[in-house]
Structures are given as structure tokens and as C-alpha cells.
Amino acid sequence: MASTTPIATAEPCNALLFKEWLASHGGKFHPAVRYSCIPSGLSISASEDIEPDATIVTCPFSIVVTPLQSKRALLPILQDPSVLGRWTERQSIVVYICFHWVLSPEEIVSYDTLVHAPYLDTLPSPSQFRTPLYFTREELEALRGTNLYGATVDRRRDWEAEWEECRADVSGVNAEWGQGLTWCRFLTASTYLSSRAFPSTLLSSPPSLVQRPDSYPVLIPGVDALNHARAQPVSWIVTSTSTSTSTSSTSSSSPSAATSADSHGNDTTISLVTHGACKAGAEIFNNYGPKPNSELLLGYGFTLSDNPDDTIVLKIGGHGAGDTEARHEVGRDARGAEAVWDAVVDAVRAQECQGLEEGEDEDEDEEEEEEAPEWQVVLDSADMLRSMTESLSARLPTGVVPERGNSSVRGDVAEMIRQYVLGQRQVLQGLLRFASDREVGGVKMARREGTRIRSEGDA
């Protein structure tokens, strides 16, 4: 979550119980670390000054929530390996979380494999979520015209399909449990996973936030309690007490081979170290890595003002039969625009070739047309890129993001939408400047070849 001013109250009972549970499994918090209440749930703050390079929290691998751990815990309950084998890694963790709420207290005690209740009790309630799947109809409508609107619709469709599959499988084992696996519970657990999970590469040696094709989401109790601050200097340290070895990595480390908490001994731990001093009463932050507001809002439920990492995704391609559109991500100041430009040039050349082929079919005796000069390709490409960018910008909400006083749209949601849309518009403005620069280059190229071209900037 993003930074929020802590509410000055005594440390909540559920936080104290979680600390005891963490310590009983070999984990710990820095002695000057305390939980504080904020509107979005709980945050981590300092009860007294904390020195730089302090270890804030340590979690043993034995209580990290992984897909394999989740399946092992569910197997004695469902007693059907084929069901667990059909589920994705995400489904396995989500259902494991849900069964803490599906089973009765007596059943949980009798099975003795659902052990994360003290951890789950510290997580936000659904009423505190601000991801788009928890938006009202009016709030979601305010996103129409953005990529995030479609991403939200797609995510809801995908998650509902996963839920229906899991509910059917669980109902086949126990009808009452199937009824207890409600969409509300599945969505809550899914949101916990999207907003709190780390990639399994963080459990590698050395740890890394960079995902790999073979990585998967994991929940690290305690470590995931810290909210996000961009560029916050932090490190993660993986330690094995049996061998007295440790490996560390900063938040900007490169990827390494993905490993699993399940492949380490019970004495292996992961710790979060903050490299800046923290004053008494101040919130202590983690660094989730560079993320655009689109990702922060969809997965975490918050945005950053003037986020330097904002991007927009463009789809270009599909010129021939069977071709698929390529996705290109462009950031502020046209970061990543070169790949988009290459794709647009390819599209223009493909259209040119198609036009030549059609002309040959109409009149084979007519003199063969020459290919367009390079400057013409550049100008046509700049025009296509500008037209595409202006079309995307025109679709963005303008004047429809509700004001704070509107009772149907919550004030904090309206502000997040405003920040997200503003970032999208600014990214597109940078892309427009890039297209204009390419057009100027095409004009200069034509003039060097003796062709006089008037550009929009000419008097």
C-alpha cells in the first residue's frame, strides 16, 4: 500500500497475536517496530528511533505461503490429489486461504494444517480494498476509455472462472464446503495475493524482485506488512542458520535462478533490511520496485502522484493472416518508444507492399510502381503514430472523473483515478512529441533528396 499517516493508538490485539505467532515459528520484528492503524488497514512504524541498516522483520521459510505448501495443507482435507493437480499455483494459494474461513473452528483444529489464521487476521477487510474489482459501478465507469477498464473486466472474468472451477471441485468432495467457498471469499483471498505477494525469486540466492517465467507468487508473513515507498533503499537477506550462510540483495538486483521456500530447511529465513534511519513515530516502508500506476491500482489499490514509472501499453501488428498484435509498453518521455516506432514502420511497409500487390493484380501491363522513398515511409509512420496516439488520448476520461463530493464515488477513489488518467495522458503527450520529432526528421530527409515538404511547423 501507499504511505498514509498512522493513527496514534495502542498496538492492535490482532497485531500482537500475530507477533507472538511469528516468534513461535522463529520469526521476529525489530524491538522498536510496532503496528499502527491506518484507513487501509495496518502499517508498520517505529516506536523509537531506528538506526540505518536495521533488520526490520525476519520470516522463516517454514511459514511462507507457497503453492506447494498450500497443496500439502489441503490434501488431508480434500483427500483428492487429482483436484489439487488441476489447480494453478494461484488457485492453490487462494483456496488455502479461503479454507481458513470455510471450515468450522472444530474442523480447523482436527485437520491441523491451516496454520495462518493469526497472519490472515492482520490483513485488511474487503471494505478497505480500493482495487478496481471493489469499485462501485460508477467508479468503474469513470475508468472507461482506459486500458485499466479492460484489464479490470478481464481480471474479473478470469478470477470468476477460476472460482467456479475451484468451487465445483470442492463441492465434489463436500457440498457444504463448496457452498462456503463463496465468490466474496475467493475475491478477498485473490486480492490478498495480488496486493501482498512477492515473486518466488525473492527466496532465491541471492534474492531478487525480478520475475522469471518459472517464478510464482508467495506470501511472506510480516515482510509483506510494510507499505510501498518508491526508491526506498532496502535489502532482503536469506539466511540458513544450519550453515551460518546468508545472501543478500538490494531492491534493484538482477534475476537469479528461482528457488522455493519448500526446497530449503526449516531453519532458513528471509529478512528485510532498511538502509535509512527511521525517526520515532514514522512509518517504515518497503520498496515494491518500479511500478506504474496502472499496476499499482489494479493489483494493490493505490496510486502515486506524478509517478515517474507510469506507462501505457500499445497494441500494434497483425498485418497478415494469423499474425497477432504485439504489446509495447511506453513510459514517460517516450521511454520505450523506439520499439513502437519500429512496429509502426513495419506496419506502414506492410500496407505499402499490399497496395503494390493489389495494383499489379488490377493491371499487370501497367508499369511497375516503385517503392516509396524512405522519407515517405518515415512521414507516413509519424502520421500513423500521431493518429494512433491522438485516438488513445481522445478516449481517456475528460471531465467525467467525479469530484470528491459525489456520494456515488468515494473521494479517495476519485483521486486515484485522476492520478492514473493524468499519468496516461502525460505518457501519450511524450509519445506525440516523439512522433513530431520523427516527422521533422522525415521532412529533413526529403529536402536533402530535393523534395520540398511543408511540415506543420512551417510558417
Query: Within 10 A of 303 (CB to CB), how many other CB atoms are there?
Result: 25
Q: Residues 214, 68: one domain? A: yes
Domain CATH code at residue 130: 3.90.1410.10
In a domain, 458, yes or no: no
291 and 349 fall within a common domain: no
**What pLDDT, on the 0 to 100 scale, is given for residue 360?**
55
- Name residues whose C-beta falls within 8 Å of residue 192's C-beta, 6 or more positions apart in sequence: 97, 120, 123, 219
Q: Please indicate, yes or no, whether residues 327 and 197 belong to a single structural domain of this protein.
A: no
Q: Residue 403 has what pLDDT? A: 53
**Least confident residue range of 159-173, 189-203, 245-259, 305-319:** 245-259
Q: Which residue would you say has higher pLDDT here, 280 or 3?
A: 280
Per-residue pLDDT band for 407 (boundaries 50, 70, 90) equals low
Q: Which residues contact 134 (CB under 8 A, 6 or more apart)?
A: 126, 191, 301
Give, as one character, the DSSP assignment of residue 399.
Answer: S
**Res. 222: pLDDT tops 90:** yes
> What is the pLDDT, as a whole number, of residue 254?
34
Q: Are residues 263 and 348 in the same domain?
A: no
Percentage, residues of the chain above pLDDT 70:
84
Q: Please give the mean pLDDT across all residues of the chain.
A: 88
Sign of CA dihedral 329, 334, 336, 339: positive
Do 183 and 320 fall within a single domain? no
337 and 297, same structural domain? no
> Nearest-CA neighbor of 73 among 262, 267, 271?
262
In this prediction, residue 441 carries a pLDDT of 95
Cα(60)–Cα(286) distance, integer angstroms: 18
pLDDT grade for 252, boundaries at 50, 70 and 90: very low
Q: What is the mean pLDDT of residues 326-354?
A: 92
In this predicted structure, the answer to whether residue 353 has a pLDDT above a threshold of 90 is no
Instruction: Check residues 5 and 106 and name the one with the higher pLDDT.
Output: 106
Q: What is the CATH number of the domain that holds 337?
A: 3.90.1420
Sign of CA dihedral 257, 262, 263, 265: positive
147-182 pLDDT, tens digit per residue, is 999 999 999 999 999 999 999 999 999 999 999 999
> Does 401 lie in the same domain as 273?
no
Is residue 391 scored above 80 in pLDDT?
Answer: yes
Locate the DSSP E strands across 3-53. Answer: 28-29, 33-38, 41-46
237 grid coordinates: 537477506
Residues 159 and 88 in one domain: yes
pLDDT band at residue 198 under the 50/70/90 scheme: very high
The tally of domains found in the chain comes to: 2
Mean pLDDT of 220-224: 97
Shortest CA distance to 97 belongs to which of 39, 156, 184?
A: 184
C-alpha cell, 55: 533488520
383 in the same domain as 353? yes
Grid coordinates belonging to 259: 528457488
Q: Does the pLDDT of residue 260 top 60, yes or no?
A: no
Mean pLDDT value across residues 395-417: 77
Report which secondary-structure segment, H or E, holds 234.
Answer: strand 234-240
Task: Decide if 365 is inside a domain.
Answer: no
The b-or-e profile of 394-433 (16+ CB within 10 A means b, else e) is eebbeeebbeeeeeebbeebbebbbbbbbbbbbbbebbbe
| Angstrom distance (rounded) from CA 302 to CA 416 | 7
| AA identity, residue 113 | T
Domain-embedded: residue 457: no
Residue 453 lies in a domain: no
Cα separation, 103 vs 126, in Å, equals 20
- Phi, psi angle pair for 258, to nearest 5°: -70, 130
Query: Does residue 336 lie within any of the structural domains?
Result: yes
pLDDT the model gives residue 357: 57
Phi, psi angles (nearest 5°) of residue 173: -90, -45
Lowest mean pLDDT among 39-43, 139-143, 186-190, 354-358: 354-358
pLDDT at position 102, please? 98
**Confidence category of residue 371, pLDDT binned at 50, 70, 90:** confident
Measured distance CA(30)–CA(19) in Å, rounded: 11
User: CA-CA distances (angstroms) from residue 69 to 113, 181, 316, 430?
Assistant: 10, 20, 41, 46
Please tell me the predicted confidence (pLDDT) of residue 258.
39
Q: Is residue 454 part of a domain?
A: no
312 pLDDT more than 80: yes
Query: Per-residue confidence at 368, pLDDT binned at 50, 70, 90?
Result: low
Model-level pTM greater than 0.85?
Answer: yes
The rounded distance, in Å, linking the Cα atoms of 251 and 213 is 19
Pick the range with the lowest mean pLDDT from 5-14, 47-56, 133-142, 292-301.
Answer: 5-14
Least confident of 102-111, 247-256, 275-284, 306-315: 247-256
Highest-pLDDT range among 15-29, 258-272, 311-325:
15-29
* Per-residue pLDDT reduced to its tens digit, 20-46: 999 999 999 999 999 999 999 999 999
Taking alpha carbons only, the member of 77, 56, 25, 369 closest to residue 236 is 56
pLDDT (tens digit, 9 = 90+) per residue, 45-72? 999 999 999 999 999 999 999 999 999 9
Q: Same structural domain for residues 34 and 79?
A: yes
Does the pLDDT of residue 5 top 90, yes or no? no
pLDDT value, residue 259: 44
pLDDT at 316: 86
Confidence at residue 255, expressed as pLDDT on a 0 to 100 scale: 33
- Which band of pLDDT confidence, cut at 50, 70 and 90, is reported for residue 248? low
Do 205 and 350 lie in one domain? The reply is no
For 336, what's the count of Cα atoms within 13 Å in the CB-facing half-sphere?
14
pLDDT at 267: 82
Among 302, 332, 348, the domain-final residue is 302
Question: Are the C-beta atoms of residues 230 and 1 closer than 8 Å to each other?
Answer: no
Strand pairing category for 227-228 and 285-286: parallel
Q: Where are the beta strands (DSSP E) in 275-324?
A: 285-286, 311-317
Of 262, 277, 302, which residue constitutes the final position of a domain? 302
Whole domain around residue 411: which residue ranges?
Answer: 310-360+370-448
Give me the amino acid identity at 76. Answer: P
* % residues pLDDT > 90 (the chain): 76
Whether residue 220 sits in one domain with residue 335: no
Mean pLDDT over 112-119 rounds to 97
Q: Which of 383, 421, 387 is nearest to 402 (CA)?
A: 421
